[in-house]
Amino acid sequence: MSRYPFARIDLAALKHNLQQVRQYAPDSKVMSVIKADAYGHGFIKIAKALNQSDAFAVARLSEALALRQNGFQQPITIFEGVSSTEEWHLVSDYGLTAVLHQQQHLDSLINAGINRPLPAIWLMLETGMHRLGLPEPAIQQIIHQLEKRKDLVEQYGLMSHFANSDLLDDLRNQQQLAIMHKLAESTGLPVCMANSAAIISLPESHYDWVRPGLMLYGASPFADKSGADLRLKPVMQLVSKLIATQQLKPGDQVGYGGQWTADKPMRMGVVSIGYGDGYSRHLSNAGTVMIRGQYTPIIGRVSMDTICINLNDCPQAQLDDEVIIWGADGVTVEWLAEKAGTIPYELLTCVTPRVQREYLNG
């Protein structure tokens, strides 16, 4: 049975990238971000390979519980926090670390009557992103409340998130940092602020903890820099195979809507990958794949299960040849994301369960 398409996940590259995080931020602890099934890479295998991390972070309670159910004992931060009594009990019973970004969430914790104190929580400071976060006076107020409730929460720190850290030299990053810096100075609490882009470009944001996501998976967060420029190695290589070829005559149209027409006699190939695998339909007439080391452009629309490619520049291509969809020099996921009008985060997390993950160097 054919296993194509599949995602080849290089765990040695992942560990290399974690080492790079340590080199960029040598004095900080590392909270590896493995939300959204580890950016589409498969969270269990990725968490195992990242066991040198000081902690993990996910977006939701359900993701944290799945990690605990698979035996992971590390601290796990839940970025979205929790709000109900029942959820606070789970956080307490499983020793999880919630992010607090609403006063009501604290009220609900106080009323929840948890059985044992939470080892830690993060207080999310609003510094300019205007998504999850509380303004400084509200955080001061919460600190005041928590000081008297060590039976509820043993330790707490300050967290915030950059809105523009992928833009080098953007003044707004300095403005966000200044707001954090002021509260960090006056409270002396531990701070966690930097995502991948800030880890690489804003050393003054490293503080006590950093939280890399994308860079662990080997992709660059900057539009004008590649992963290789940043000493990162791509972790996922998405591969499939050539399942058909056809000879086209001038005037023949390819695929749904006839969005591409041959202008000369040519050979066309069909590759088994489509939007049902997470390959963006925005790459219709725009993407490129690699076959036998040769770039070949996509022609016509991306279908649910297949794409068509122009084989004129690769006459040696044969049925069943392996095709690299992304994750090689020249067809990086960052480059394709730009072609699709999106970001590598989206392409990686959109790879569907139909695509098997195969792990190398585990």
Ligand X SMILES: *Cc1c(COP(=O)(O)O)cnc(C)c1O
Nearer to ligand X, 260 or 345 (CB): 345
CB of 295 to ligand X, least distance (A): 28
Query: Does 220 engage in binding with ligand X (CB under 6 A)?
Result: no
Active site residues: 35, 256
Nearer to ligand X, 253 or 342 (CB): 342
Residue 9 in contact with residue 360, Cβ under 8 Å? yes
Q: Which amino acid is at 235?
A: V
Choose which of 81, 128, 221, 234 interacts with ligand X (CB under 6 A). 221
Nearer to ligand X, 210 or 317 (CB): 210
Nearer to ligand X, 216 or 268 (CB): 216
The DSSP string of 17-61 is HHHHHHHHSTTSEEEEE-HHHHHHT-HHHHHHHTTTSSEEEESSH
CB of 264 to ligand X, least distance (A): 44
Each as own residue / partner, the long-range contacts of residues 65-69 (CB below 8 Å, 24 or more positions apart, any chain) are: 65/90, 65/94, 67/34, 67/43, 68/94, 68/96
**Which one, of 262, 263, 266, 221, lies nearest residue 246 by Cα?**
266
CB of 233 to ligand X, least distance (A): 16
Residue 55 in contact with residue 18, Cβ under 8 Å? no
Query: Does 133 engage in binding with ligand X (CB under 6 A)?
Result: no
DSSP β-ladder status, 118-124 and 97-100? parallel
CB of 174 to ligand X, least distance (A): 19
- State which of positions 150-189 bind ligand X (CB under 6 A): 161
Burial class (CB in 10 A: 0-12, 13-18, 19+), 194: buried
Q: Which amino acid is at 201?
A: S
Query: Does 306 engage in binding with ligand X (CB under 6 A)?
Result: no
3-state helix, strand, coil in the chain (%, to 5): 35, 25, 40
**Which one, of 10, 48, 11, 30, lies nearest residue 213 by Cα?**
30
Cα gap 155→171, rounded to integer Å: 32
Per-residue binding letters, 98-127, with ligand X (x by CB under 6 A): ------------------------------
CB of 34 to ligand X, least distance (A): 10
181-189, 209-217, 252-260, 314-322 -> range binding ligand X (CB under 6 A): 209-217
Size of the site for ligand X (CB under 6 A): 11
Each as own residue / partner, the long-range contacts of residues 136-140 (CB below 8 Å, 24 or more positions apart, any chain) are: 136/179, 136/182, 136/183, 138/103, 139/183, 140/183
Per-residue binding letters, 70-89, with ligand X (x by CB under 6 A): ---------x----------
Query: Does 336 engage in binding with ligand X (CB under 6 A)?
Result: no
Query: Does 28 engage in binding with ligand X (CB under 6 A)?
Result: no
Choose which of 9, 18, 33, 114 interacts with ligand X (CB under 6 A). 33
Centre a 10 Å sphere on the Cβ of residue 90 and count the other Cβ atoms it contains.
17
Cα gap 331→325, rounded to integer Å: 7
Choose which of 5, 42, 128, 212 interacts with ligand X (CB under 6 A). 212
Nearer to ligand X, 88 or 217 (CB): 217
Query: Does 206 engage in binding with ligand X (CB under 6 A)?
Result: no
Query: Does 56 engage in binding with ligand X (CB under 6 A)?
Result: no
Q: Which residues bind ligand X (CB under 6 A)?
A: 33, 35, 79, 161, 195-196, 211-214, 221
